[in-house]
């Protein structure tokens, strides 16, 4: 699943849309099949955590990539169909065609409802005016929750995904199952902000400081490989929880001792 920095970069690449008029529109989602932005100007494109927003006139198109979603830019009339992938949004803006494949979420709502609808999300980790204190406050509300789950909860902080969660835990020396009330929450939040901010414009996500293939992460995706710090074998498991918060997690049993 793309993390906040991936969506931040996607929104940056789509800035060309702003000020352009929609010349063709298809939302291949039953609920919004009759929505048509044709003739409207794209007012703004922006990210918030893992969510992407596009405003056309007084309406907002809200999408989320989830696990397999992608946006692709083509010239109108060119062959863009991808075997096994479903195009859910097609937007033509003059000489450019934008196609959203396998989008996990497609929603349309009035721009005036934006704050109300997205108010459940925590502060955006990549916002210029990032509210560190608010993220810390939200995480501390549940001292009996595992820190690994708390970091992934988008109601606490918008944008942290599974890769950052694993890497933050390693750099903090914290096992993901340790409880919020037993760890230095400030340290974890500051690490998250620093890592994500350092990667926000990078085509390759790096947490080790080394950009060579296979050396960009400490524990993420490295099950049974030696820890770069102590040599112990990286462990993979599942952190407790339900739904989106129950995902695979990696850690070093030596550098991140179990509680």
Please tell me which residue in 28, 187, 200, 247 is annotated as part of the active site. Answer: 247
Which one of the listed residues 47, 50, 149, 193 is annotated catalytic? 50
Choosing from 2, 47, 123, 176, the catalytic residue is 2
Q: Catalytic one among 3, 97, 163, 167? A: 3
Determine whether 50 is an active site residue: yes
Farthest-apart Cα atoms in the chain, separation? 60
44 is catalytic: no
What the block records as the tokens of 7 is 């969506």
CA distance 154 to 117: 14
Instruction: State yes or no: is 236 an active-site residue.
Output: no
Active site residue 117: no
Helix (H, G, I), strand (E, B) or coil at 209: coil
Which segments of the chain are extended strands (E)? 24-27, 42-48, 51-56, 59-64, 70-74, 87-93, 96-101, 105-110, 235-238, 248-251
Mapping DSSP to helix (H, G, I), strand (E, B) and coil, where does residue 183 land?
coil
Enumerate the active-site residues.
Answer: 2-3, 50, 247
């Amino acid at each position: 699943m793309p993390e906040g920095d991936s969506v931040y970069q996607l929104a940056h690449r789509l800035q060309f849309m702003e000020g352009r008029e929609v010349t063709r529109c298809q939302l291949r989602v039953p609920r919004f099949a009759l929505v048509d932005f044709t003739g409207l100007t794209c007012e703004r494109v922006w990210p918030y955590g893992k969510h992407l927003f596009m405003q056309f006139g007084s309406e907002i198109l809200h999408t989320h990539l989830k696990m397999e979603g992608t946006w692709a830019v083509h010239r109108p009339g060119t062959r863009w169909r991808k075997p096994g992938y479903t195009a859910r949004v097609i937007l033509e803006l003059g000489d450019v065609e934008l196609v959203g494949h396998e989008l996990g979420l497609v929603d349309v709502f009035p721009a005036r409802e934006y704050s109300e609808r997205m108010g459940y999300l925590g502060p955006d980790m990549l916002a210029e005016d990032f509210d560190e204190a608010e993220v810390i406050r939200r995480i501390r509300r549940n001292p009996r929750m595992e820190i690994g789950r708390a970091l992934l909860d988008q109601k606490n902080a918008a944008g942290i995904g599974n890769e950052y969660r694993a890497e933050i835990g390693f750099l903090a020396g914290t096992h993901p199952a340790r409880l919020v009330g037993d760890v230095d929450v400030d340290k974890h939040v500051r690490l998250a902000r620093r890592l994500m901010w350092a990667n926000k414009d990078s085509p390759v996500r790096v947490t080790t400081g080394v950009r060579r293939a296979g050396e960009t992460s400490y524990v993420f995706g490295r099950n049974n490989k030696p820890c770069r710090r102590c040599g112990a074998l990286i462990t993979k498991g599942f952190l407790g929880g339900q739904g989106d918060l129950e995902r695979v997690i990696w850690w070093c049993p030596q550098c991140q001792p179990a509680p």
